């Protein structure tokens, strides 16, 4: 189901709940993809969730979108445009507020599900605005500290829950980058699960069923 004109293009699967404000899961796709990609998971996820799959704001040629530019010809390998990533972080948090108001969703029960670049943004949003996010499902990504605002002040991180997974033979984002995630989250006292699967840069069936079960226990 396509939607009302909010600040970011998106697809939505309404919740099965008839009363009250339903919990919501926002999907953030990877570099060069679009909102239809992760939305294919929607029919298999809990019916009480409202699922909103968001299109990244920067179009790529010849197709697809990105949350921020990656310069593949940079001197030191891939170079991420962190300033653009921070802009996307702010666009996402603004969109979440818009969507919760427009679709009458439970702003106290928000889950982010990201893949690859969408995972990097999911961490940035959740760790910069922990009061707004409850759960993060972080697939095939890593934490980029340069795009996170950790000036928490009174913000509490302990109510966040993170499920992170990675392919042990991922050729796009090295598994070593993901293996740093548990220590980072542990230092912040954020409850988390980290798993690796014998796959490349993708989501294996056993990975899907594992995060689905984790999610069912958290919503």
Q: Residue 118, SS3? A: helix
Distance (Å, whole) CA 22 – CA 46: 11
Which tokens hold the place of 74?
A: 């940079």
Structural domains in the chain? 10-218 (3.40.50.1820)
Please count the CA atoms within 13 angstroms of the CA of 154 that sit on its side-chain side. Answer: 0
Q: Would you say how long the chain is, in residues? A: 219
Answering whether pTM is above 0.75, one says yes
> pLDDT per position in the chain (219 positions), as tens?
545 568 899 999 999 998 899 999 999 999 999 999 999 999 999 999 999 999 999 999 889 999 999 876 656 556 789 999 999 999 999 999 999 999 999 999 999 999 999 999 999 999 999 999 999 999 999 999 999 988 764 567 888 999 999 999 999 999 999 999 999 999 999 999 999 999 999 999 999 999 999 999 998
Are 166 and 199 spatial neighbours (Cβ–Cβ below 8 Å)?
A: no
Closest CA to 216 of 125, 104, 111: 111
Which tokens hold the place of 205?
A: 């069936």
């Amino acid at each position: 189901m396509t939607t009302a004109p909010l600040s970011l293009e998106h697809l939505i699967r309404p919740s099965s709940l008839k009363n009250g404000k339903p919990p919501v899961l926002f999907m953030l796709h990877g570099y060069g993809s679009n909102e239809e990609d992760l939305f294919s998971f929607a029919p298999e996820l809990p019916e009480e969730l409202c699922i909103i799959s968001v299109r990244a704001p920067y179009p790529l040629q010849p197709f697809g979108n990105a949350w921020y530019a990656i310069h593949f010809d940079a001197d030191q390998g891939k170079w991420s445009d962190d300033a653009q990533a921070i802009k996307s972080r702010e666009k996402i948090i603004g969109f979440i507020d818009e969507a919760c108001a427009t679709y009458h969703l439970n702003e106290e029960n928000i889950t982010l599900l990201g893949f690859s670049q969408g995972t990097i943004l999911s961490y940035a949003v959740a760790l910069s605005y922990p009061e707004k996010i409850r759960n993060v499902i972080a697939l095939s990504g890593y934490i980029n500290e340069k795009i996170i605002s950790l000036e928490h002040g009174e913000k509490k991180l302990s109510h966040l829950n993170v499920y992170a997974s990675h392919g042990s033979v991922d050729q796009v984002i090295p598994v070593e980058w993901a293996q740093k995630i548990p220590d980072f989250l542990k230092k912040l006292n954020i409850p988390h699960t980290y798993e690796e699967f014998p796959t490349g840069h993708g989501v294996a069936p056993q990975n899907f069923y594992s995060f689905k079960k984790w999610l069912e226990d958290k919503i």
